[in-house]
Structure 1
Amino acid sequence: MTSPEVTVQRDPQLQAIAAALSEPFEPKEVKFKPQMVKNNRALAMGYIDARLIQDRLDDVLGVENWQDSYDFLPDGSVVCRLRLKLGGRWITKTDVGSPSEQPDSGDRVKAAVSDALKRAAVKFGIGRYLYRLPAQWVDYDPVKKQLSNPPQLPAFALPRAKAQPQAAVAAPPRAPKVTSPPKPEPVPVVEEKPQPVVKEAAKVEGPKSATSLPSNGHELHRRLQEYDAKLAAQKLCVRGALLAHVTQAGVKAGYTANMTDWTGPAIPFAVDAVKEFETSVRSAKTDRQTAA
Structure 2
Amino acid sequence: MMKESNEWVQAAEDAAYRRYFCGHHRQDVYDTYQIGAEPEDLYPAFRDWVCAGHPDFPLPATLDAVRLGPATDWDALVARAIFRPPFEPPGVALDAVWITSLYRLLGDERTLLSRAVARLLDSDDPLLVRGAYDFFYNERDAAGAEQVAGSVASGRDRLSSVPDPDRPASSLLDYAAVLLHERVLVVDEAGDLADRPALGVARELALAGIGPRHTPRTFGEHDPDWLAAHAADLARANGKWVTSLVRAAMRMAPKMRERVLRELTEVAPERVRTAIQHL
Q: TM-score, normalized by length of structure 1?
A: 0.19
The structure whose RCO (Cα within 8 Å, separation 6+) is larger is: 1
Q: Which of structures 1 and 2 has the bigger CA Rg?
A: 1
More helix by proportion, 1 or 2? 2
Instruction: Calculate the TM-score normalised by the size of structure 2.
Output: 0.20
| Structure with the largest fraction of strand | 1
